[in-house]
Chain A
Amino acid sequence: MKIVDMIKKEMRFDKNDKGQNAISAVSSNTSNKKKPSTIDRKVIQDSVTKLDPRYLAKNNAVMFTVEVGFIVVFIIALFPNISTEFVQFSSAFYFEIAVILIITVWFATFSESLSEAQARARVDSLRSLEKEVSARKIVNEKEVVVNSKSLKPGDEVKVYAGETIPRDGLVIKGKAFVDESMMTGESNPVFKEKDDHVIGGTRIASDNILVEITAEAGRSFLDEMVGLIESASRPKTKNEIALTMLLAGLSLIFIIVVGGLLFLIHYLGYSGDIATLIALLVALMPTTIGGLLPAIGVAGVTRIGRDNIVAKSGKGIEAAGDCDVLILDKTGTITEGSRSAIKFIPLQMYTEQDTGQAAFAASIHDNTHEGKSIIDLSEEKRFIPPLMEKILAARPIEFSADTGYSGIDFIPAKKTALTNEQQEEFAFISKLESENGNGNGIAGADNHHHVNCKVSSMLLELDKFNKEVQVLKGSVDNILALTRKANARVNEAEVRWKAQEVSKDGGTPLAVSINNEIIGLVVLKDNLKENIRQKLDEVRATGITTVMITGDNKLTAQVIAKEANVDQVMAEAKPTDKLVRVQEEQSKGHVIGMVGDGTNDAPALAKADIGLAMNSGTAAAKEAANMVDLDSDPSKILRVVKLGKQLLITRGAITTFSIANDVAKYFAIIPAMIMKSTNNAHLESLNIMHLHSPDTAILSTLIFNAIIIPALIPLSLRGVKFKPEPPQKTFIRNMLIYGLGGVALPFVGIKVIDLLLSVFMR
């Protein structure tokens, strides 16, 4: 057993390291390529193309207005004699303004291009999984090597071990293990036989199969995922639309304000210089958020993609920010996928060793993690039963949902024939025994060292009389039912009491019996996922309620919930209960996040506001969910929630910052505008920044306005830092940083730029 495990583990490592390289047969693998430098030529090119006013008019009203301003100022710079009333500065000044304006626009398009490039890089890395490979197409019962591109649905291809399945299809002949780790993250090769579905881009690990191609080129599972990522950046979410409205409204208000000034100001004897007014308009309009808004949205999808989650729309990610109830499966999310045996509890008549030996025997053919952990525990405690050879060769009783137990069944006298593997294992166990000087080996009849052990003697005795031996383990209820049926003697009260004690400690009891006589209990315990408690604490801090759903009994569930610090528990839940719970919580107005992988999760996943499906799950689950985690790590939903919040906060923060900036900008430009033509002492008091001259005041305001966009690109791509804490705290902190900071920073920034400019413009 252990060796098989070790071998498998080896294989797993191997796959993780080299799996991706192994897929591609024809073209080079880009996933191992160095991270593309973030600013490449394509980004620059793209950002320049986006300066097209038609593109901006459609997609970014704020920047379009700035560009119109640029055109106006540029024309004035070329023909400064157009008007004497509205043109008051030197031609050079207008050129400077024009340059700053167009750079402002370019900064905005650049940020958008940059974020799109990042999204593309993510798409490309996924695309590299499905490449053109050579395929052995069956033509007239002969294998012809063709390019996978040329395959059509209905074509049959033969795929051998080590080769890549060219496209999605159906197995029509043969059996094989297929390595799907690059698609699903599931490390164990999956067994495929006739009528099983195979995925393009996955690799045959052993044997060979004949596959009928079912997907058209560009319509495979991978392509769908790529399509999802690409389209994810396109449609705007509700919040984005609302914010766009607000920004457009603010821009219009400022256009009216500046338009009003344009016509009114000269009646009061002030100069209505057009560049000054355009500068005021550009400064007042929310250019910062207007420029960065597209980038923030795209970056959200990219960031989630970096976590190996495919979001079907930006909507899902945003909804994640609203999530206030998380419904989590116990298994796989809060606890490791499987339980481990930690303890043997014997019944009154038996010892721990008895229980251990019986459990060992019952689990010898149990390939589940639980079974293996029982073997491991027995081996560790040296509770090896006699008659190892026979046990290994015994007929396994498979676990079924009906019986609720599994084990072995052997007639000792029967001649045993061990397979190679079993022999290897037998040798290993014997070695273990002898190494520890625990006896003279278990092979053969010399087994007196087991004499003080009741189970040993029982087994030996049964063997002696050539009686049938059935060693079983299963849930306490099931095994008890079995003993009752067989009218075997059993202290039912004791079994139940001991089982309850186990539950109280959060363990799951399994009863072990030999020929309907219960020997004792095996305590299985859930392993909490690493850091799960800390993660859930963070989630709670942001005001999210966590609900754990499990089929376990209430006692066990509650202990685990307490250990993991989950708020609510749904114990003894049936699969359909998930949907009920989701609907229940939604009707109370909660926004629900949940994780699922099974087909029976699909309705709940579809109903939940944030449904994260495991890629290892069924197609139905993936279809129903609005996000798919390629790594199949359920606890990632917490990351999604965090990201959703971050996305909204980033938008809110930069909007607030943008609006708060206007205060200082007013105090820079209004004095520049009116101070020249008045000697009103009261108005002088407005010039609180004491800028060098009207020229430098306007230039420095615009320069500040422009450079703040690239300065905030990293923030908008990365997202505002999100701390798990009560929303109140988040709000106050963000208000102080982006609201108050947004008021203060431009005062400092504009003053500094003005000082620098005054050096040159003296």
Chain B
Amino acid sequence: MTCVDPIVQTSVLFGGSIGMAIIFGLYIARMISYEMRPLEKPLARVEKGFFRLVGIDVNRQMTWKEYLFALVFTDGIVMVFIFIIFLIQGMLPTATPGLKGLSIDLAFNTAASFITNTDLQHYAGDQQLSILTQMIAITFVMFVAPASAMAAGFAFIRAFIRKNFGLGNFYVDFTRNILTLLLPVSFVSSLFLIYMGVPQTLNSSVTIDKTLEGHNQSFTIGPVGSLESIKMLGHNGGGFFGANSAHPFENPNGFTNIYETFLILIIPLAFPIAYAKLVGRGRGIAILIAMLIGFGIMFAIALTAQSGPKGLETRFGSFGTLLFTISSIATNTGATNSLLGGLSPNAVISLFLGMFVQAIPGAAGVGMMTMIVYVLLTLFIVGLMVGKTPEYMSMKISPKDIKLAVFIFLLHPTLILIPTVTAFTTGNAQGVLGREVQGQKITPFGYTQALYEYTSAAANNGSDYLGTSANTPFWNWSTGLVMLLGRFVPLGLMLGIAGSFTAKDRKEVIEPIKTEGPLFISVLVIMTFLLTALTFFPFIIIGPFSMLGS
């Protein structure tokens, strides 16, 4: 029985999410290429109303720079808006008396965290945010952040399918992503989750005068259902409650656990399917399989050691916890249904791996783009090895593309290691690690926590060990900055690559090494892991790897 359950869970989860990803992928492909979607007429009517209200010229195409600017500018305004809301939430109507605004550094951190799709939480949502803030700041930005990233992904893919036509219109993509994809799916999913036991109310707390044994009990509640679905679907991961998806109100039972995992996986897996539809079935499927292999490797590493039961929720068990957590970290959702401290060091290593690679399958849009950057680097080596100027889909990979790609891969370790070093040398890490600091020495576990914090921030993941204990100015400002850089710099560089590719000549020439099939997939997977492993090997060794023996 114990053996059957995991098999059933895994097959239902992957069967379901891949099946759904195919439907969504085909739909996304139509969004990318502006083809007729199912229900085109009503959808178009709704959209048109919006476009008219906003004053968007649907046919206006943007260059990569315009697209990037529109994205950064829109996200920037939202960030400023939610930053202000966090500061002044106590003064807004409907706030519970006594509720204060967040401190400036925490407000900055939280605003940066949510707009970058990271959702690193140095606050406890159930204690520090009002219901209104949870709605107009948190839930709202949970739509904005993934819609922006997906839009960037659309623009990126367009660069490969059409020449010098522009990369699309950010406002159109952004609006369509929310109105015709995220919102309807979230709506239905919320209803399901509410049915399963997730609360949806405007009350902020429930007080029980007398429990069964006669104690006084009170707990926080609120519009959790509406937040929970978009939290998963949009790879946000920021919980309504501090306990995130471990909280019974966010994730009431084993079935919601699988359903939430399913929501996490749909869109990242749909992107390669859309890609398959647009640039060739084999190519997209190769990327999908490479992602799944990477995911499988993560999962296999995590399963090599027993996690829990301490720190895990009984209703999910060890397997359900890992399934949820690995999926969530691999997609940079960052939601957790357990304490990270409850996971085995092996599982933690696999979480690091997911955040280092960022593309197995990675967050919506971003994961796909990152994977294609890996593809470009792989093809560069492959091209040299067969004696041809490297090309992808018969588009030559120029030194500029390699430069941008190298920057992307250089940025990640920089954003992780420099702040980690700073945190330790300034004593700020020691300040929050508590008993993991033994005199001058820090335990591998303590070091792992600090490294994890910045890795999560740089990868826009959002899971963390430290939680509210990292609510200090240093950690708030530093992780906030890392999240912003980790989000918008790679996004800019990737759109730069898109801009470079959209200008390239594309012709039907046979590729020397097909960018599909087992050979290519295995080379891609090896390259991806090798690049990552070579960069982070020593840090894993002195961190989670050492936790095992100590």
- Residues of A near any B CB (own CB < 8 A): 238-239, 241-243, 245-246, 248-250, 252-253, 256-257, 259-261, 263-265, 267-270, 280, 284, 318-319, 321-322, 324, 543, 587-590, 644-649, 651-653, 655-656, 659-660, 662-663, 666, 670, 674, 678, 680-683, 686, 722, 727-728, 730-732, 734-735, 738
Determine the chain A residues whose CB is within 8 A of the CB of B539 once the complex forms.
257, 260-261, 264
Q: Are B399 and A242 in contact (CB under 8 A)?
A: yes
Interface residues of B in 136-178 (CB under 8 A from A): none
Interface residues of B in 384-419 (CB under 8 A from A): 384-390, 394, 397-399, 401-403, 406-407, 409-410, 413-414, 417-418
In the assembly, what is the distance between CA of A412 and CA of B501, in Å? 78
Q: Check: B510 CB closer than 8 A to any chain A CB.
A: yes
Determine the chain B residues whose CB is within 8 A of the CB of A666 once the complex forms.
534, 537-538
For A649, give its contact among B385, B506, B535 (CB under 8 Å): B385
Determine the chain B residues whose CB is within 8 A of the CB of A735 once the complex forms.
385, 523
Q: Check: B509 CB closer than 8 A to any chain A CB.
A: yes
Q: Are B508 and A263 in contact (CB under 8 A)?
A: no
A-B contact count (CB 8 A): 189
In the assembly, what is the distance between CA of A730 and CA of B447, in Å? 45
For A683, give its contact among B388, B390, B541 (CB under 8 Å): B541
Q: Are B385 and A257 in contact (CB under 8 A)?
A: no
For B404, give the chain A residue with the smallest CB separation: A245
Determine the chain A residues whose CB is within 8 A of the CB of B401 once the complex forms.
242
Determine the chain B residues whose CB is within 8 A of the CB of A259 once the complex forms.
417, 421
Determine the chain A residues whose CB is within 8 A of the CB of B382 once the complex forms.
652, 731
Determine the chain A residues whose CB is within 8 A of the CB of B320 once the complex forms.
none
In the assembly, what is the distance between CA of A65 and CA of B541, in Å? 25
Q: Are A246 and B542 in contact (CB under 8 A)?
A: no
For A245, give its contact among B402, B506, B513 (CB under 8 Å): B402
In the assembly, what is the distance between CA of A245 and CA of B390, in Å? 14
Q: A245-B406, A727-B512 are in contact. Are A257 and B538 (CB under 8 A)?
A: yes
For A253, give its contact among B399, B410, B509 (CB under 8 Å): B410
Q: Are B384 and A655 in contact (CB under 8 A)?
A: yes
Q: Are B381 and A267 in contact (CB under 8 A)?
A: no
Determine the chain B residues whose CB is within 8 A of the CB of A265 once the complex forms.
542
Q: Check: B383 CB closer than 8 A to any chain A CB.
A: yes
Q: Are A261 and B418 in contact (CB under 8 A)?
A: no
Q: Check: B479 CB closer than 8 A to any chain A CB.
A: no
5 closest residue pairs by CB, A with B: A589-B507, A652-B384, A645-B387, A682-B549, A249-B406
Q: Are B542 and A727 in contact (CB under 8 A)?
A: no
Determine the chain A residues whose CB is within 8 A of the CB of B94 once the complex forms.
none
Q: Are B425 and A263 in contact (CB under 8 A)?
A: yes
Determine the chain B residues whose CB is within 8 A of the CB of A728 once the complex forms.
512-513, 519
Interface residues of B in 202-259 (CB under 8 A from A): none
Q: Are B398 and A242 in contact (CB under 8 A)?
A: yes
Q: Are B387 and A649 in contact (CB under 8 A)?
A: yes
Q: Are A589 and B381 in contact (CB under 8 A)?
A: no
Q: Are B418 and A256 in contact (CB under 8 A)?
A: yes
Determine the chain A residues whose CB is within 8 A of the CB of B425 once the complex forms.
263
Q: Are B387 and A646 in contact (CB under 8 A)?
A: yes
Determine the chain A residues whose CB is within 8 A of the CB of B537 once the complex forms.
666, 670
Q: Are B397 and A257 in contact (CB under 8 A)?
A: no
Determine the chain B residues whose CB is within 8 A of the CB of A322 once the complex forms.
388-389
Determine the chain B residues whose CB is within 8 A of the CB of A270 once the complex forms.
542
Q: Are B399 and A321 in contact (CB under 8 A)?
A: no
Determine the chain A residues whose CB is within 8 A of the CB of B506 once the complex forms.
589
For A257, give its contact among B377, B402, B535 (CB under 8 Å): B535
Classify chain B's interface size: 35 or more
Q: Are A269 and B441 in contact (CB under 8 A)?
A: yes
Q: Are A659 and B384 in contact (CB under 8 A)?
A: no
For B407, give the chain A residue with the smallest CB separation: A249
- Chain A: minimal CB distance from B401 (Å): 8
Q: Check: B503 CB closer than 8 A to any chain A CB.
A: no
Q: Are B403 and A245 in contact (CB under 8 A)?
A: yes
For B416, give the chain A residue with the smallest CB separation: A260
Interface residues of B in 412-433 (CB under 8 A from A): 413-414, 417-418, 420-421, 424-425
- Residues of B near any A CB (own CB < 8 A): 377, 380-390, 394, 397-399, 401-403, 406-407, 409-410, 413-414, 417-418, 420-421, 424-425, 440-442, 444, 447, 505-510, 512-513, 519, 523, 530, 534-539, 541-542, 545-546, 548-550
- Chain A: minimal CB distance from B423 (Å): 10
Determine the chain A residues whose CB is within 8 A of the CB of B394 once the complex forms.
589
Q: Are A686 and B541 in contact (CB under 8 A)?
A: yes
Q: Are B417 and A682 in contact (CB under 8 A)?
A: no
Q: A241-B399, A727-B513 are in contact. Are A588 and B417 (CB under 8 A)?
A: no
Q: Are B397 and A242 in contact (CB under 8 A)?
A: yes
Q: Are A674 and B389 in contact (CB under 8 A)?
A: no
Q: Are B519 and A261 in contact (CB under 8 A)?
A: no
In the assembly, what is the distance between CA of A99 and CA of B536, in Å? 29
Q: A263-B424, A270-B542, A322-B389 are in contact. Are A253 and B512 (CB under 8 A)?
A: no
Determine the chain B residues whose CB is within 8 A of the CB of A256 once the complex forms.
410, 413-414, 417-418
Determine the chain B residues whose CB is within 8 A of the CB of A284 once the complex forms.
534
For A588, give its contact among B386, B387, B508, B549 (CB under 8 Å): B508
Instruction: Give 16 A-B pairs besides A267-B441, A268-B441, A652-B384 with Cβ atoms closer than 8 angstroms.
Output: A242-B403, A249-B410, A253-B409, A256-B418, A264-B447, A268-B442, A324-B509, A324-B510, A589-B506, A656-B385, A670-B537, A682-B545, A683-B549, A727-B512, A728-B513, A731-B513
In the assembly, what is the distance between CA of A570 and CA of B319, in Å? 67
In the assembly, what is the distance between CA of A189 and CA of B440, in Å? 89
For B399, give its contact among A238, A267, A590 (CB under 8 Å): A238
- Chain A: minimal CB distance from B522 (Å): 10
For A726, give the chain B residue with the smallest CB separation: B512
For A268, give its contact among B386, B444, B505 (CB under 8 Å): B444
Q: Are A682 and B548 in contact (CB under 8 A)?
A: yes
Determine the chain A residues whose CB is within 8 A of the CB of B380 once the complex forms.
242, 246
For A643, give the chain B residue with the smallest CB separation: B387
In the assembly, what is the distance between CA of A662 and CA of B530, in Å? 10
Q: Are A649 and B549 in contact (CB under 8 A)?
A: no
Q: Are B530 and A659 in contact (CB under 8 A)?
A: yes
For B541, give the chain A residue with the smallest CB separation: A670
For B512, give its contact among A264, A543, A683 (CB under 8 Å): A543
Q: Are A656 and B381 in contact (CB under 8 A)?
A: yes
- Chain B: minimal CB distance from A107 (Å): 23
In the assembly, what is the distance between CA of A647 and CA of B452, in Å? 43
- Chain B: minimal CB distance from A705 (Å): 15
In the assembly, what is the distance between CA of A257 and CA of B420, in Å? 12
- Chain A: minimal CB distance from B92 (Å): 43
In the assembly, what is the distance between CA of A130 and CA of B550, in Å? 77
Q: Are A644 and B387 in contact (CB under 8 A)?
A: yes
For B385, give its contact among A248, A250, A253, A731 (CB under 8 Å): A731
Q: Are B538 and A670 in contact (CB under 8 A)?
A: yes
Q: Are A655 and B381 in contact (CB under 8 A)?
A: yes
In the assembly, what is the distance between CA of A321 and CA of B442, in Å? 54
Q: Are A257 and B413 in contact (CB under 8 A)?
A: yes
In the assembly, what is the distance between CA of A587 and CA of B550, in Å? 64
Determine the chain B residues whose CB is within 8 A of the CB of A648 once the complex forms.
383-384, 386-389
- Chain A: minimal CB distance from B352 (Å): 14
Q: A263-B425, A267-B447, A589-B394 are in contact. Are A253 and B413 (CB under 8 A)?
A: yes
18 A–B contacts, CB within 8 A, in A order: A245-B399, A260-B417, A261-B538, A264-B421, A267-B442, A267-B447, A268-B441, A321-B387, A588-B507, A589-B507, A590-B509, A645-B388, A646-B387, A648-B388, A662-B534, A670-B538, A727-B387, A728-B512
Q: Are A681 and B399 in contact (CB under 8 A)?
A: no
In the assembly, what is the distance between CA of A259 and CA of B418, in Å? 9
Determine the chain A residues whose CB is within 8 A of the CB of B397 once the complex forms.
242
Determine the chain B residues whose CB is within 8 A of the CB of A730 once the complex forms.
385-387
Q: Are B406 and A589 in contact (CB under 8 A)?
A: no
Q: Are B546 and A680 in contact (CB under 8 A)?
A: yes
Determine the chain A residues whose CB is within 8 A of the CB of B507 once the complex forms.
587-590
In the assembly, what is the distance between CA of A492 and CA of B92, in Å? 107
For A252, give the chain B residue with the smallest CB separation: B410
In the assembly, what is the distance between CA of A250 and CA of B409, in Å? 9
For A685, give the chain B residue with the smallest CB separation: B549
In the assembly, what is the distance between CA of A238 and CA of B400, in Å? 10
